[in-house]
Amino acid sequence: MSIIRTVDLTKKFDEFVANDHINLSVEPQEIKCIVGENGAGKSTLMNMLYGTLIPTSGSILIDEQPVKFKSPIDAMNHGIGMVHQHFKLVPSLTVYENILLGTEITKKGLPLIDSGEEIRRVQGIIDEYHFQLKPTDRVEDLSVGQCQQVEILKMLYRNVRILILDEPSAVLTPQEVDRLIENLKDLRKNGKTIIVITHKLREVMELSDSVTVIRQGKVIGTVMTKDTNEQELAQMMVGRDVVLTVSNEGGMPSSDEVAYRVEDLHTINAHGAEVVSGVSFEVKKGEVFGIAGVEGNGQSELVKLLTGLMTTTKGRVYLEGRDITNLWPDQLRKAGIGIIPEDRYGQGLCQSMSIPDNCIAGYWYDKEVCQYGVLKKKSILQRAREYIQKYDIRVASEQGYVSELSGGNAQKIIIAREFESHPRLIIACQPTRGVDVGSIEFIHKQLLRFRNEGYSVLLISSELSEIMSLSDRVAVMYKGKIIGEVDPKTISTSEIGLLMAGATSQRNEVPV
């Protein structure tokens, strides 16, 4: 008997069918993985199971009883809890306050909160499930992995039987992922049923009992984990054979000539804390230099420094010998740096403007598209057309808005714009975040082509596999510093994982 089952569950957004007659069945005490590409409809499905979206048609059965969820509270009352990809925590509150949020314990006869009793209960549940947390710590001081534990405990405290996790490993170090997998297996032993949404196939293989693959809103198939492998799952996900990792092997060796040099860079955040402290590195010509690390260790700030969005407190940056420290983004672009920013819609594109306008964003000083302060609409459109063809950008209309594009196609506009300005160095930050597998392959190939033409790439990504397969050298950032430089071809994932967690490895550390 299934603990949770959907029958012909369908969700339509206007004409678009996000979930098309989904039949899913989860057995009690199993770990079920739901895999699919971005935009395949995984999140829609989970949001219906958790009551945040209401199905257009079809039904959900729990213990073979049909249920209707109008809000997450209904789902929670039926024993379903969800850990979202973006945590729903309140940073300024403590761990115990977050876990008990909405179910506070008050002192007898008084409307005041009994913090002592709350702390005791939370400590109890932490011990019961062997988590490593201190109830009185503030959430803003916790690591991402710990925040996730708080989210899981929040659900366990509410006695859920079915736990849904949305992309739980996206922001964790390899060690934290291992710990999460252990925790989840423990929970299964304790009688919980777990549903995990993910697109990381390695974890699927390690974690799950069965896998359901979704593509374009339809269930493609359900298989037992022990009867399948990563390659087969990838094929089911994408619908064709895919090269799982584009590798930089076999390309031209990089030269010894230094293209880009960063010396002892420092900066502070709004609270005065030093978030980048003494970062130095060199990028050679014809080289991809990767910076790995768990998110939140100063990579974002480093990129902001290097792309002119933030100013330094100390340190210098040179491009081919020229001092470019603290230049503004337009000056950096003129100096020959292409910028693929971390936040696609925040810094890379303007969603409420047309595709042609976005194709020249940041390059309006180019006389071909703008003269005497007047934009030349015709040549801008001409340029957009070229990009769309050359970079295979799928658009409904050439003059449409960027907001109508999928993540992958929107990212390709940035890629086209930055590469076509013929820079000497590309700073690529999270270039494939939220992008479908097909586009990832395309973007990786573009970066490598650029490298093989003798130019340089600075790649900053929290996607470890991306860094490892593309880079010639990899530096690992931890707490605002580069704590080690490694050769991606010889280092193992667990070794680099240790570095990412702050433990300096003896063997691979390069003397600084």
The answer to whether residue 337 forms part of the interface with other proteins (CB under 8 A) is no
In the bound state with other proteins, the residue whose beta carbon lies nearer, of 155 and 238, is 155
The DSSP call for residue 401 is B
Instruction: Determine which residue in the list 1, 14, 65, 92 makes contact with other proteins, applying CB under 8 A.
Output: 92
The answer to whether residue 95 forms part of the interface with other proteins (CB under 8 A) is no
CB distance 512 to 328 below 8 Å: no
Work out whether the CA dihedral 70, 73, 77, 83 comes out positive or negative: positive
Task: Specify the residue for token string 């409307």.
Answer: 111
In the bound state with other proteins, the residue whose beta carbon lies nearer, of 121 and 489, is 121
Compute the least distance from the CB of residue 99 to other proteins, in Å: 11
Integer Cα distance of 302 and 33 in angstroms: 35
Compute the least distance from the CB of residue 328 to other proteins, in Å: 8
The DSSP call for residue 348 is I
In the bound state with other proteins, the residue whose beta carbon lies nearer, of 61 and 309, is 309
Tokens of 412: 């390709």
Span interacting with other proteins, options 61-69, 311-319, 432-440, 475-483, rule CB under 8 A: 311-319
The answer to whether residue 109 forms part of the interface with other proteins (CB under 8 A) is no
Estimate to the nearest angstrom the gap between the alpha carbon of 25 and the chain centroid. Answer: 28
Q: CA angle, corner 142, sides to 184 and 459, nearest 5?
A: 85
Span interacting with other proteins, options 85-93, 191-199, 350-358, 502-510, rule CB under 8 A: 85-93
Question: In DSSP terms, which residues pair with 198 in a beta bridge?
Answer: 35
Integer Cα distance of 230 and 202 in angstroms: 7
Instruction: Determine which residue in the list 112, 226, 227, 506 makes contact with other proteins, applying CB under 8 A.
Output: 112
Instruction: Determine which residue in the list 37, 97, 287, 418 makes contact with other proteins, applying CB under 8 A.
Output: 97
Binding-site size, other proteins (CB under 8 A): 35
Task: Specify the residue for token string 């409420």.
Answer: 352
DSSP per-residue letters across 465-485: HHHHHH-SEEEEEETTEEEEE
DSSP per-residue letters across 210-253: EEEEEETTEEEEEEEGGG--HHHHHHHHHSS---S----TTSPP
Integer Cα distance of 219 and 7 in angstroms: 12
Instruction: Determine which residue in the list 7, 61, 125, 309 makes contact with other proteins, applying CB under 8 A.
Output: 309
In the bound state with other proteins, the residue whose beta carbon lies nearer, of 304 and 383, is 304
Instruction: Determine which residue in the list 8, 64, 66, 91 makes contact with other proteins, applying CB under 8 A.
Output: 91
Integer Cα distance of 4 and 183 in angstroms: 22
In the bound state with other proteins, the residue whose beta carbon lies nearer, of 76 and 483, is 76
The answer to whether residue 310 forms part of the interface with other proteins (CB under 8 A) is yes
In the bound state with other proteins, the residue whose beta carbon lies nearer, of 158 and 479, is 158
3-state secondary structure of 94: strand
The answer to whether residue 345 forms part of the interface with other proteins (CB under 8 A) is no
Instruction: Determine which residue in the list 84, 192, 284, 333 makes contact with other proteins, applying CB under 8 A.
Output: 84
Give the CA count within 13 Å in the CB-facing half-sphere of 265.
29
The answer to whether residue 93 forms part of the interface with other proteins (CB under 8 A) is yes
Span interacting with other proteins, options 29-37, 57-65, 161-169, 264-272, rule CB under 8 A: 264-272
Compute the least distance from the CB of residue 431 to other proteins, in Å: 22
Span interacting with other proteins, options 8-16, 23-31, 72-80, 217-225, rule CB under 8 A: 72-80
Q: CA angle, corner 51, sides to 195 and 167, nearest 5?
A: 35
The answer to whether residue 272 forms part of the interface with other proteins (CB under 8 A) is yes
The answer to whether residue 232 forms part of the interface with other proteins (CB under 8 A) is no
Question: In DSSP terms, which residues pair with 215 in a beta bridge?
Answer: 218
Integer Cα distance of 500 and 298 in angstroms: 12
The answer to whether residue 244 forms part of the interface with other proteins (CB under 8 A) is no
Integer Cα distance of 43 and 432 in angstroms: 19
Burial class (CB in 10 A: 0-12, 13-18, 19+), 481: buried
The answer to whether residue 311 forms part of the interface with other proteins (CB under 8 A) is yes
The answer to whether residue 434 forms part of the interface with other proteins (CB under 8 A) is no
Instruction: Determine which residue in the list 102, 250, 253, 373 makes contact with other proteins, applying CB under 8 A.
Output: 102
In the bound state with other proteins, the residue whose beta carbon lies nearer, of 90 and 243, is 90
Burial class (CB in 10 A: 0-12, 13-18, 19+), 155: buried
Q: Name the residues that contact other proteins, by CB under 8 A.
A: 71-73, 76, 82, 84, 86, 88-93, 97, 101-102, 104, 106, 111-113, 267-272, 304, 308-313, 328
